[in-house]
Structure 1
């Protein structure tokens, strides 16, 4: 199980404790629960205590960012808390497209609406689209949350998925890359992403793939990444040192696709790298020692230690300290899903752009607002039971409660008990 966060009487961070110890403190009345997600208790009388180094690690991703807290104890480095932070970048992009289409439709119908505006806003340095900026803001917010609950001493973040400069010129990077072992992980991971984890010649998936030279080295081919692809064993052996034009003379479409894709950079990698650099710059503002690492080193550490693939496990394996980190089998990550903090839209629209509902009057209904985490104990009616989840309030005073991917409708407000105020995230 994960450690429980502890605050002293003055709300200063103490070392996280084992859940069994937290239960004893709560049972004896020495502490009370101050926050449910992540679970945090506050001591009634104790002030101050001995602290040990705790490192926070991030593995930023396009859809999910892994977070891990690693305690550096005398017995070694150990993961004490972990979480998977699911972003809402795709939802933001979809909302922006929907708003754009509604505005365009109103203009085309000559409905009363402001005219289109072009080139009227200057983009500041480091500007990112809203869908990407939300990822950076989510990481920043959780760094801020955890820094208030845990005595953090350093930050480690995976800033680049692939170090493309080292792929192009390995000799610049030092002894480890010259030996080739870590460079092989960087290169292979890049090629897997670029070629879609399938054979470039036959399209086979879920089979062992080998690194293949498009132009054979015996015929002047180089080891640059632009001359490399992935092939299954049969295709690799059949091609040998043949010219690719002769090997694929009966598959002209595939030949044209390989030639174009070999020269083109990996756009997804460039986008992810841009977001990770922005995330790294944001974390620099927390005045803690910060270390940057690459995805190749993360994968190298994880495979060396024999851990399975997961975002929070990758976060634990980031950087030099990830080469000897211990992850107990009892650790279960907290799943954090970004949901936003509501909408400024006055009323909902139908598919044709006409108002579907009236303007919203109140943000809170009977003391609850959308996004609050509540516990509902229904004692009568068709929906008898206990429900805990994120609430959606309605002016009719009949609420919906989301429990993971499921939703229970028609729960009266009188049955609801507030657990935690809305902070823009859902927890499972």
Structure 2
């Protein structure tokens, strides 16, 4: 189970405690629930206390970012909190493309509404598309939240999944992680991802794969990553030092596919690489020591300790301190999904881009807002029972509540009690119950 965050009477973070200890504090009336997600207690009779160093670790990804809090205890390094943060970059991109298509369609029909604007807007320095910038904001938001819940002393972040610059020029010297057992590790992992973990020539899967030079070194080929692929031993030996055109002269379709694939980069890797500096600069603003590492080292640490693949486990294995970190078998991660803070769109549009609904009404109804986590105890009528989940408000005061069993409509606001205010994220607990 996750450790429970603890605050003192002045809301300063203390070391997290075991869930059994948290229940004891609540039963004795020494603490109260301060926050539900992540679960946090506030003590009623204590100010200050002994704390140990805690390292906050991030494994930023294109779709999901792993978060881990690793305590530096006398008994060793141990993870006390893990979470998977799911981004909404693809939804933002889709919404922007839809809006752009609607506006373009209106202009092409020569109807009213705003004219086209081309290069009359200047972008600020370091500008990133909203779909990428949302990832940066999510990481920054959770770093700030966790800093207020636990005494963090340092931050470690994986800046790139694969260090493509080092792979393009493998002769770069004075790079510590390129020496010893880790040498060539990132190149192989990159190629496995790029070529779908199958032989580039025959498509064989689940067989030993070898790094192969597309243009043989004996004929001027280099070690740069664009000249490398992966192949099974049979194809690798059969090709030998022949050129790819000669080897695949009877397979023009395969030859065309391989030549096209060599020019492509991993889309997810590109997204992570683009945002690495923005994430780094955002984390530096917290005034804590920040170290940066590559994904090759992360996977090396994880496989050496024989941990399964997961984003939050990768986060725990980032950097030097990830070489020996204990992950309790009972610890289950919290799944967090970014859902935004509502839409600025005043009304919905039809397929032609014209308004089809009325303008928005008030955002807060009877003290509740869409996205709040509520507990509704219905005492009479056809819907008698207890409902805990995300609420969708209506101006009439008849709300919808989404729980793990589905959505229940028509719950009066009088039965509702807010557990946690909307914060832009939804939460998925161990039993796969959605909580927003």
TM-score, normalization by structure 2? 0.93
The separation in 1 between residues aligned to 2:238 and 2:270, in whole angstroms, is 33
Q: Find the counterpart in structure 1 of residue 8 from structure 2.
A: 8
Deviation, structure 1 residue 113: 1.4
Structure 2 residue 365 is the aligned partner of structure 1 residue 372: no
Equivalent positions of 1:152-301 (< 5 A) are 152-167=152-167, 168-174=169-175, 176-179=177-180, 181-266=181-266, 268-301=268-301
Q: Find the counterpart in structure 2 of residue 342 from structure 1.
A: 342
Farther off after superposition, 274-283 or 153-162: 274-283
Change beyond 3 A, Cα 1:236–1:396: farther
Give unpaired runs (5+ residues) of structure 2: 429-436
Deviation, structure 1 residue 318: 0.3
Structure 2 residue 86 is the aligned partner of structure 1 residue 86: yes
Farther off after superposition, 184-193 or 145-154: 184-193
The answer (yes or no) to whether the contact 2:373–2:421 under 8 Å persists in 1 is yes
The separation in 1 between residues aligned to 2:126 and 2:404, in whole angstroms, is 35
Change beyond 3 A, Cα 1:175–1:46: closer
The answer (yes or no) to whether the contact 1:53–1:73 under 8 Å persists in 2 is yes
Q: Secondary structure at the match of 1:22?
A: helix
Deviation, structure 1 residue 263: 4.6
Change beyond 3 A, Cα 1:215–1:104: closer
The answer (yes or no) to whether the contact 1:185–1:299 under 8 Å persists in 2 is no
Equivalent positions of 1:369-408 (< 5 A) are 369-403=369-403, 406-408=406-408
The separation in 1 between residues aligned to 2:176 and 2:7, in whole angstroms, is 44
Q: Find the counterpart in structure 2 of residue 43 from structure 1.
A: 43
The answer (yes or no) to whether the contact 1:166–1:172 under 8 Å persists in 2 is no
Aligned residue pairs total 427
The separation in 2 between residues aligned to 1:94 and 1:42, in whole angstroms, is 41
Farther off after superposition, 20-29 or 219-228: 219-228
Deviation, structure 1 residue 360: 1.3
Change beyond 3 A, Cα 1:221–1:393: same
Q: Find the counterpart in structure 1 of residue 434 from structure 2.
A: none
Structure 2 residue 120 is the aligned partner of structure 1 residue 120: yes
The answer (yes or no) to whether the contact 2:215–2:221 under 8 Å persists in 1 is yes
TM-score, normalization by structure 1? 0.94
Deviation, structure 1 residue 218: 4.8
The separation in 2 between residues aligned to 1:143 and 1:264, in whole angstroms, is 33
The answer (yes or no) to whether the contact 1:170–1:178 under 8 Å persists in 2 is no
Deviation, structure 1 residue 89: 0.3
Give unpaired runs (5+ residues) of structure 1: none
